[in-house]
Amino acid sequence: MIRWCAYCQRYQGDVEPLDDYSVTHTICEDCVARGALLKTPPPSIRAIQSFLLSIARSGMEPGLTAAEVVAQGDALGLDPADLLLGVVQPVLRQIGDRWARSEATIAEEHRVSALCSSVIQTMIAREADLAALRTQPPEVLLVVAEGNQHTLGAQVLEVLLLRHHVPTYAVYPALPAHEIVALARRLQPRVVAISAAVPEQIASASIVAEQLAAQPPAVRPLVVVGGRALDGGPSLPSGSPLIACNDAHALLEFATRPRAAP
């Protein structure tokens, strides 16, 4: 389930059951400290989520534009990153689940994915400082595991990182392990984040982690893997330096953590 603060309308992460994409409201610590319990909650996130989910279920061309989705998020007072994590991301996961159960057509999946991708690019285009962060030496190298054709989850993470002022170098589509290693050695990021869609792709991410673990501590990045490959729980190779990370906020913490001492 998707947790939202009913007062500040900020995404608070997911809780079990993870395959339930409905919203459960809570109140965050900041709102408790501000005495928000004594005030009337603002409009619910349910309206825009229901709107997007209806698109995922529709077999007809809805004619909706990315600009309209972003505008509706603005009207509800949603932070763009929360719109991506708490609305766009669950819609993508739901349409993927429906496609896996043969309940959605390929055309539906493509249409919803294209709309969500356009929403992401619309957000980046309207914030000039995000583009500037793409040109700085990166703290995070964000890549897609070899064989993974699904890039939208990584695109969501790129926006989240940039909006938290974390310089990020993102590469789409997928790269083989040796190219990820070479790129990491050249860019020397603090974190290499790899998106994997199925468990079989974790092996490629593990190769990256093992090869980069030989780097000197001063330039040795943390290598993390996330994505749907971890939905059943972490299943990383024993002894691997690879870190399972399916929490966007944990990735932010990794991106600002000091490097290991020499």
What is the tens place of the pLDDT at every residue in 181-207? Answer: 999 999 999 999 999 988 889 999 999
Sorting pLDDT into bands at 50, 70 and 90, what band is 140? very high
How many CB atoms within 10 Å of residue 190? 20
The confidence score (pLDDT) of residue 64 equals 72
Sorting pLDDT into bands at 50, 70 and 90, what band is 141? very high
> Does 181 share its domain with 217?
yes
When mean pLDDT is compared across 50-54, 93-97, 228-232, the lowest value belongs to 50-54
pLDDT tens column, 81-97: 788 877 777 777 777 77
What is the domain-level CATH number for residue 177?
A: 3.40.50.280
Last residue of a domain, one of 101, 126, 151: 126
Tokens 């309308």 map to which residue? 9
Of 254, 54, 251, 46, residue with least CA distance to 153: 251
> Does 9 share its domain with 110?
yes
> Does 219 share its domain with 171?
yes
Judge whether residue 38 has pLDDT over 60.
yes
What is the domain-level CATH number for residue 18?
A: 1.10.1240.10
Judge whether residue 232 has pLDDT over 90.
no
- Rounded to the nearest integer, the mean pLDDT of the chain is 81
Buried b / exposed e across 243-256, counting CB within 10 Å, b at 16+? bbbbebeebbebbe
**How far apart are alpha carbons 203 and 68 in whole angstroms?**
40
Sorting pLDDT into bands at 50, 70 and 90, what band is 23? confident
- Residue 25 included in any domain: yes
Sorting pLDDT into bands at 50, 70 and 90, what band is 212? very high
Torsion angles phi and psi, residue 251, rounded to 5? -60, -40
**How far apart are alpha carbons 113 and 105 in whole angstroms?**
12
- Residue 58 included in any domain: yes
How many CB atoms within 10 Å of residue 51? 16
Whether the ω angle into residue 173 lies within 30 degrees of 0, i.e. cis, is yes
- Residue 65 included in any domain: yes
- Residue 105 included in any domain: yes
Span 10-17, average pLDDT: 78
CB 220 within 8 A of CB 213: yes
Q: Any alpha helices (H) in the chain, and if so which ranges?
A: 29-33, 46-57, 66-75, 80-83, 89-100, 106-125, 128-133, 152-163, 177-187, 202-212, 248-255
> Does 185 share its domain with 205?
yes
The confidence score (pLDDT) of residue 60 equals 46
Of 251, 246, 209, residue with least CA distance to 229: 246
Last residue of a domain, one of 104, 126, 148: 126
Torsion angles phi and psi, residue 192, rounded to 5? -110, 115
> Does 141 share its domain with 110?
no
Whether the ω angle into residue 17 lies within 30 degrees of 0, i.e. cis, is yes
The confidence score (pLDDT) of residue 37 equals 72
Range of the domain at 194: 131-255
Sorting pLDDT into bands at 50, 70 and 90, what band is 234? low
> Does 7 share its domain with 94?
yes
pLDDT tens column, 99-130: 778 877 777 777 888 888 888 888 878 776 77
CA–CA distances in Å: residue 205 to residues 18, 47, 213, 222, 236: 24, 38, 12, 12, 10
* The two three-digit tokens of residue 101, written as one number: 């159960």
Span 19-32, average pLDDT: 79
> Does 17 share its domain with 41?
yes
3-state class of 222 per DSSP? strand
Last residue of a domain, one of 126, 151, 166: 126
- Residue 45 included in any domain: yes
- Residue 84 included in any domain: yes
> Does 66 share its domain with 151?
no
> Does 175 share its domain with 245?
yes
> Does 7 share its domain with 97?
yes
Q: What is the DSSP letter of 137?
A: P
Domain count along the chain: 2
Q: Do β-strands 2-5 and 11-14 pair in parallel, antiparallel, or remain unpaired?
A: antiparallel
- Residue 156 included in any domain: yes
> Does 70 share its domain with 92?
yes
Judge whether residue 172 has pLDDT over 70.
yes
Distance from the first to the final alpha carbon of the chain: 42
- Residue 118 included in any domain: yes
> Does 80 share its domain with 118?
yes
